[in-house]
A and B are shown apart, each in its own frame.
Chain A
Amino acid sequence: MKRWRQPSVLPGFGLTFGFTTLFLSGIVLLPLAALVLETASMSWREFLHVITDPRAIGSYRLSFGASLLAASINAVFGFIIAWTLVRYEFPGRKMIDALIDMPFALPTAVSGIALTSVFASNGWIGRYLEPLGIKVAYTWIGVTVALTLIGMPFVVRSVQPALQEVQRDLEDAAETLGAGRFYIFRRIILPTVLPALLTGFTLAFARAVGEYGSVIFISGNLPMRTEITPLLIVIRLEEFDYRGAAALGFVMLVISFVMLLTINLLQAWGRRRYIAAGH
């Protein structure tokens, strides 16, 4: 214990560390352990059969594919929103700033129903997309739209403080040294904000993978086509197939963990590289 202890303004290392351990164990690790235990009661063949079921494979593809796509869309447009909010003064800025958090506060089912009514073939937007041959509701596009909505605040809120820290002087300096806008963005602003942007991307992705409420309304839940893994798990539960549900949950857990770990490692490696090479 002595070795870990760092001097800190906050007293009570023992107490806080104890609480951290208890909290993580009770709320996070214990349920996960139960999940693994439940899965472990299956035989290998049984397990493989459940998780390689074509319907399950289809759901992984949709869940992780749509989540990655949604997080990427958010990374781009969330950055632009954060930029607008930080850099420009305009009437209603505070209002828009507050609206960003709405997807956090809204019950996800409400978002799902709202999106469905807008994008359905007779909805406000859907009716104009339909003639163009674009179907949003009840397709993978709808799923992506729902996941984008859910993940947006994560990117905006991660990037905002980082952007605020980019000193105006740095841009001014680069400008007097002859750099154009795009060059300044690529060489000065982006490197400074990238860690925060990656964090936002990770959070948005993680949230999208676990999303359930908003998606089930807009996806239409066609097996193999628009069925996400969390929904498949619920279906298994409703069939009282607890072990099947646990197996699918276990797969989600492993894939999510691997992807998040990869992003984190990438980020750490990137940070080191930036510092070492200076680019």
Chain B
Amino acid sequence: MSITLDQVTKRYQGVPVVNDVSIDIGDGEFFVLLGPSGSGKSTLLRAVAGLTGVDHGRISLHGRDVTHVPAQKRDVGLVFQNYALFRHMTIADNIEFALRVRRMRAHARRERRRELLRLVALEGMDERLPAQLSGGQQQRVAVARALAHKPEVLLLDEPFGALDAKIREELRRTIRQVQRELGITTVLVTHDQEEAFALADRIGVMNFGRLLEVGRPDELYTRPATRFVATFLGAANLLLGHQTKIGVRFGTAEADGAGADAQAHREHEVVAVIRPEEIELAPEKRALACNYLAAGTVEEVAFTGALERLRIRLADGVSDAQLSRGPNGDGDARLEVTRTQHEQRAFGVTPGQAVAIGVRRIHVLPTPLSSFTAYAANAAQATYLSQQPLLVRLAARMHTRVSVRVTDENATVTGAAVVAAAPDSGERIEWLMKKGAEEVLVLPHDADNPQRVLIHWADEAARAATLAVAASLLRHVAAEGVYVGILPTSTPDGQRPHSMRALLDARSEAQAVHGLEMRTELHFGNLIESLAGRLAEMPDQILILGVSQISGLAARFEALLRAQARAPLLFVYGSRDPRA
């Protein structure tokens, strides 16, 4: 491996900006770190270059641990967004800078400079000053300068940010070509997904300091695992559906063959991704060549050259399913559709026209916490609960919604249930789980953004479900995840190695199955006391607690619910056997 990051964490004023990131980047690989601004990708790159220290974790280059090696000795080449050329030096002197530092002889320097200028197609520019070159040319010089000392890895920090579209494309091609020619391991940071697609062998998507997913561009586009990656890489319509054996059902529409999952043991709520180009329009249901989704009305048609962009309002009944709403989360939902010229000629549409909507391909996200539903004894309380700031923020970040429901005997429960923290929450959790809730969030009214997420499962059978929920939550908050293992003090010594192994297994399972990096710690003592003690340490934490026994839950955790009233508790039901 060329670059290995192991649980790298960097905090600014206590807040993790790079949070437990682990990556292996292979020799000669072109790796793109993609994420919105503030996602920690540039900080991570600077950490690899040695310009920023890390608070935790290890960085190795070609098997050499460089975590504490200064930038001068790391042997990396770094290219900046604003070129960072030395303006008082000629191009020749800029390129030879690293060679001069290394006291290379003049003729050898000249030789190397010629070679590099040829590589970036700037022959004959030696005696110019940076100010006499165009932006694109300056960035080529910066690339040549970064490669002069034959570094082991090339790091590019938004190198095209300051350039206009045409130059950008040209330079992109040059960089790809240079990278192939030299076979140098390269990491590029960008917020532009098109750039990432054009250059990357593999892409790592970052958000809130976490590395969410790593994969080939086509893999990530067609089979994202998280809501963020689905919406950040290209446009996506997110719909809440119900997974059944024969397909995914949206709202009141009939379930159809699309997205069928024979493994689905029972109907449950899922988040489905439909790409705009996977939607087909036809005058009526029978004319569709693919699975029918719903009826709708064309609202907006925009011509953008090769593609036509449409916004379509779904017919009532199905429109409830839609998640990708306006910026406030309450705007009217519209389905985004793109169609090729060919499709336009086959069936032209105008605003106001009623159409049948078909879907060629549905991708179901393997993520829990599909939506939130606030439960309370009356509508006013439920509405109040649904407006709790932390809940609203979580829902917005998860691109999902918060519904409101009054507790009544006939209700069936889907998605994650939310109840207000109260002395009797134990009974409520028990009741909701019996009704089918897989996750119940007990929310104090003043809970704020968590800085730490504690993870524990009281029953081994709930492990998989708890890890899945923890992974999903941690992707949407800038907090560190800590798995708390608890060993009763009465554990015989012979049992202890076994418990340690279980702890390590939990960590590697989290990493392997969910790409979730978390800390692990082991406590000796009583379960409730240990958890309550950990929660009392600092404000702004969340505890995710996995259980597999619903009966007696209220009594079992009464002490915990009573002991602390500040932190939200997320109870997760999980069992090895599918619940009937």
> Which residues on A are within 8 Å of B, measured CB to CB?
167, 169-170, 172-180, 183, 187-188, 191-192, 274-275, 278-279
Q: How far is the CA of A201 from the CA of B145 in the complex (A)?
A: 35
CA A188 to CA B88, docked complex, whole Å: 8
Chain A proximity of B394: nearest CB distance (Å): 34
B82 within 8 A of A: yes
CB–CB A176/B97 < 8 A: no
Q: Give the secondary structure class of A's interface.
A: helix
User: Taking A172-B51, A176-B50, A177-B98 as contacts, is the C-beta distance between A192 and B88 under 8 angstroms?
Assistant: yes
Complex CA distance for A170 and B86, rounded to whole angstroms:
7
Given A169-B82, A176-B146, A178-B101, 14 new contacts (CB under 8 A) = A172-B51, A172-B78, A172-B80, A173-B78, A176-B49, A176-B76, A176-B78, A177-B97, A177-B145, A180-B72, A187-B86, A192-B87, A278-B89, A279-B89
Instruction: Please name 30 pairs of A and B residues whose Cβ atoms are closer than 8 Å in the assembled complex, sorted by A.
Output: A169-B84, A170-B84, A170-B86, A172-B51, A173-B78, A173-B80, A174-B86, A176-B51, A176-B71, A176-B146, A177-B77, A177-B98, A177-B101, A177-B148, A178-B72, A178-B98, A178-B102, A178-B149, A179-B97, A179-B101, A183-B101, A187-B86, A192-B87, A192-B88, A275-B129, A278-B88, A278-B90, A278-B92, A278-B129, A279-B89
* A178, A179, A274, A279 interface centre (most CB from chain B within 10 Å): A178
Separation of A47 and B86 alpha carbons in the complex (Å): 54
User: Looking across the interface, which residue of chain B has its beta carbon closest to that of A194?
Assistant: B88
- B492 vs chain A, min Cβ distance (A): 55
Q: Which residue of A lies closest to B155 (CB)?
A: A176
A174 to B51, CA, bound (A): 11
- Residues of B near A172 (CB, < 8 A) are 46, 49, 51, 71, 78, 80, 84
Contact B88 A274 (CB under 8 A): yes
A192 to B84, CA, bound (A): 13
**A192 to B86 alpha-carbon distance, docked (Å):** 9
* Most chain B C-beta atoms within 10 Å of own C-beta, residue among A174, A176, A179: A176
Given contacts A167-B82, A183-B101, contact A175 B71 (CB under 8 A): yes
With the chains together, A167 CA to B87 CA distance in Å?
Answer: 11
| Distance of A278 Cα from B85 Cα, bound (Å) | 12
Q: Does B280 contact A (CB under 8 A)?
A: no
A274 to B86, CA, bound (A): 12
Complex contact A176–B88 (CB within 8 A): no
In the bound complex, what is the Cα–Cα distance between A191 and B88 (angstroms)?
A: 7
CB-CB < 8 A to B97: which residues of A? 174, 177, 179
The smallest C-beta distance from B242 to any residue of chain A, in angstroms, reads 52
Bound form: Cα–Cα A29–B292 in Å: 91
Contacts of B129 in A (CB 8 A): 275, 278
Chain B residue numbers with a CB within 8 Å of A192 are 87-88
- The reply on B74 being an interface residue by CB < 8 A is yes
Question: Is the CB–CB distance between A176 and B86 below 8 Å?
Answer: no
Residue of B nearest to A191 (CB): B88
Q: Which of A172, A173, A278 has the most CB of B within 10 A?
A: A173
- Cα distance A179–B146 in the bound complex, in angstroms: 13
* Complex Cα spacing A175 to B84, Å: 12
Q: Which A residues lie within 8 Å of B46 (CB)?
A: 172
Tell me whether A188 and B51 are in contact (CB under 8 A): no
List 9 A-B pairs, minimum CB-CB distance, nearest first.
A177-B98, A169-B84, A278-B90, A278-B89, A173-B84, A176-B78, A278-B93, A175-B71, A178-B101
Q: In the complex, how many angstroms separate the beta carbon of A234 from the nearest chain B beta carbon?
A: 46
Task: Indicate if the CB atoms of A176 and B101 lie closer than 8 Å.
Answer: no
In Å, the complex CA distance between A170 and B77 comes to: 13
B215 smallest CB distance to A (angstroms)? 29
**A167–chain B nearest beta-carbon distance, Å:** 7
B234, chain A: closest CB distance, angstroms: 32
Question: Which residues of A are found within 8 Å of B146, using beta-carbon distances?
Answer: 176-177
In the complex, what's the smallest C-beta–C-beta distance from B131 to chain A, in angstroms?
Answer: 9
Complex Cα gap A177–B82 (Å): 17
User: With A and B bound together, what is the CA distance between A253 and B146 in angstroms?
Assistant: 52
Within the complex, the shortest CB–CB distance from B26 to chain A, in Å, comes to: 22
Mark interface residues in B44-86 (1 if CB within 8 Å of A CB, else 0).
Answer: 0010011100000000000000000011111011101010101
A169 to B51, CA, bound (A): 10
**Distance between Cα atoms of A175 and B142 in the complex (Å):** 14
Q: Which residues of A contact B50 (CB under 8 A)?
A: 175-176
B433 to chain A, nearest CB (A): 52
Q: A275–B87 Cα gap in the complex (Å)?
A: 9
Which A residue sits closest to B75, measured CB to CB?
A178
Assess the A188–B86 pair: CB atoms within 8 A: yes
> Could you say which residues of chain B place their CB within 8 Å of the CB of A183?
101
**Residue interface mask B141-175, A partner, CB < 8 A = 1:** 01001101100000000000000000000000000
Give chain B interface residues in 481-505, CB to chain A under 8 Å: none
* Complex interface: chain A residues within 8 A of B87 (CB): 192
Minimum CB distance partner of B78 in chain A: A176
Question: What's the Cα separation between A180 and B101 when bound, in Å?
Answer: 9
Residues in B11-53 with C-beta less than 8 Å from chain A: 46, 49-51
CA distance A178 to B74 in the complex (A): 8
In the complex, what residue of chain A is closest to B145 when comparing beta carbons?
A177
